[in-house]
Amino acid sequence: MKFLIESYGCQLNMAESAAIETLLLGRGLEKTDNPDAADAVIINTCSVRKTAENRIWGRLGFYSAEKKKHPMTLIVTGCMAERMKEELKQEAPFIDAVIGTNEKAEIPDFILGSPLEMLSGYKFLSSYYKEGEFSSYVPIMNGCNNFCSYCIVPYVRGREVSRPVEEIIEEIKFLEGKGVREITLLGQNVNSYSSQYNGQAVDFPTLLEIITPYLDNIIFVRFESPHPKDFSDHLISVIAENPKVAKHIHLPMQAGSTRILQLMNRKTTREKFLALVDKMRREIPGLTLSTDVMTGFPSETEEEYEETLSMMEAMGCTEAFMYYFNPREGTRAAEMDGQIEESIKVRRLERLIAEQIERQARIKGSMLPFRATAIVTGTSRDDKDRYLARGEHNDYFSFSSEKEHKPGDVVIIDAVELKGNTFRGSEYV
Ligand code: SF4
């Protein structure tokens, strides 16, 4: 029996798809990329943007035709399945099961013929490892309590649930055994992690301390995404002092104006955010940052947009995910007065991107020359004699070496120049 998984959306969806794949392989099913050969197709959906949902409707049209050609079990899961369960069942009756975010663990049993047992709470899958990968996600939380006014996540993934420490340790031991080199602890609001271990309360920085003794092959621990309001002094000191925690932090900013941040319900201000960045830079040597930022939130003025530009400059990120506000049906921001014309949102975004491209080249260029530890990811597409590697700061290297390497090898590189976004250099021996 063959299965095919299509995944859309965030890293948590990707990690959950990898986990479902592992479970299905473990039950003796085979993976295929060919819809004509698939006996079961799982579409893991995203609801963050309307465009993501439109794409799924298109894929459903495709699979409706496929099902007429040959029998297959079609399952729709993920956030859209949660948000539009009834609509999906009505509009696309050829779907065999619409399975919400909380019930994904039931998918293998359903494919193998068991009726769906609906669960009331989110269940973490046993492992999110994808065979052959040296980089793995480790979900530690699901859901979100923050209700940022533009975001659908709390409505589709529900309230925060933290994964038990014991399960996280088990997964890390398993990944160690598989030769994994880096892990990313995942959650919608990772630094509000809250659990118990040996009778003690465990918050996110404590979790980082607890897992560290289990890390040997794993050389980098990353986490995504933290919320600025929950970025405690304890977390800053653990990042600074723990050599396994990568000194590259993704810290979502979203906007540079206090009024807009408040409208977004981000529970922070421009001043507090900048003070946090300053403190992190002072206390974490060699820190680099990345962020998420948007233009054209309802009622954003030109002056407030300029505040976003100046806060981006003050933050000095080496990477940024930049987008313009796209109203999401079902969120408060979609109903707000002062919706901004698309042409203005796009114009603002274009300048934001242009400035960021110039800024990251400037920051990265100023780091040269330097020596870095990195993980080999493959060979260079343009030059087969060079290898590619990714470093602690999520930076990419193209390097020459006298040695043979395979993906997952750890190397030390002397970087001497920057070409586009990639550092070039040679292996230090
Ligand atoms: S913190 Fe805000 S943006 Fe992030 S998942 Fe929660 S509600 Fe959405």
Q: Could you read off the pLDDT of 76-111 as tens digits, one per residue?
A: 999 999 888 889 988 999 999 999 888 888 888 888
Q: Is 12 in the pocket of ligand 1 (CB under 6 A)?
A: no
Sorted by where each begins, the domain ranges of the chain are 2-111, 135-366, 370-427
Q: What is the mean pLDDT of the chain?
A: 93
How remote is the CA of residue 423 from the centroid of ligand 1, in Å?
33
| Per-residue pLDDT tens over the stretch 181-232 | 999 999 999 999 999 999 899 999 999 999 999 999 999 999 999 999 999 9
Fold type of domain 370-427: OB fold (Dihydrolipoamide Acetyltransferase, E2P) (2.40.50)
Q: Is 227 in the pocket of ligand 1 (CB under 6 A)?
A: yes
26-28-29-31 Cα dihedral, nearest 10 degrees: 60
On the question of a cis peptide bond just before residue 369, with omega within 30 degrees of 0, the verdict is: yes
| Per-residue pLDDT tens over the stretch 342-367 | 999 999 999 999 999 999 999 999 99
Q: Is 189 in the pocket of ligand 1 (CB under 6 A)?
A: yes
pLDDT value for 116: 61
Pocket test for ligand 1, best of 12, 79, 189, 262 (most atoms within 8 A of CB): 189
pLDDT value for 27: 85
Query: Of 3-7, 101-105, 157-161, 369-373, which gets the smallest average pLDDT?
Result: 101-105
Confidence label for 385 from pLDDT (cuts 50, 70 and 90): confident
How many Å apart are CA 192 and CA 272, to the nearest integer?
Answer: 18
Which CATH architecture is the domain 135-366 placed in? Alpha-Beta Horseshoe (3.80)
Strand 319-324 to strand 2-7: parallel, antiparallel, or no bridges (unpaired)? Answer: unpaired
pLDDT value for 111: 86
Fold type of domain 2-111: Rossmann fold (3.40.50)
- How many other CB atoms are there within 10 angstroms of residue 20's CB atom? 24
- State the amino acid at position 254 in one-letter form: Q
Q: Which atom of ligand 1 is nearest to the CA of 266?
A: 2
| Per-residue pLDDT tens over the stretch 103-145 | 888 888 888 876 665 545 678 887 888 888 999 999 999 999 9
**What ranges in 70-223 are assigned the alpha helix state H?**
79-83, 85-91, 107-111, 153-157, 165-177, 204-211
How remote is the CA of residue 207 from the centroid of ligand 1, in Å?
21
Q: Which atom of ligand 1 is nearest to the CA of 225?
A: 4
342 near 158, Cβ under 8 Å?
no
Among protein residues, the one with the nearest Cα to ligand 1's atom 5 is 188
Among protein residues, the one with the nearest Cα to ligand 1's atom 2 is 148
| Per-residue pLDDT tens over the stretch 306-323 | 999 999 999 999 999 999
Q: Is 153 in the pocket of ligand 1 (CB under 6 A)?
A: yes
pLDDT value for 119: 47
pLDDT at 28 over 90: no
Instruction: Report in angstroms the alpha-carbon separations of 426 from 19, 116, 264, 380.
Output: 36, 54, 46, 13
258-261-263-266 Cα dihedral, nearest 10 degrees: -130
Which of residues 67 and 259 earns the better pLDDT score? Answer: 259
How remote is the CA of residue 177 from the centroid of ligand 1, in Å?
33
Q: What is the pTM of this model?
A: 0.86
Query: Of 65-79, 228-242, 334-348, which gets the smallest average pLDDT?
Result: 65-79
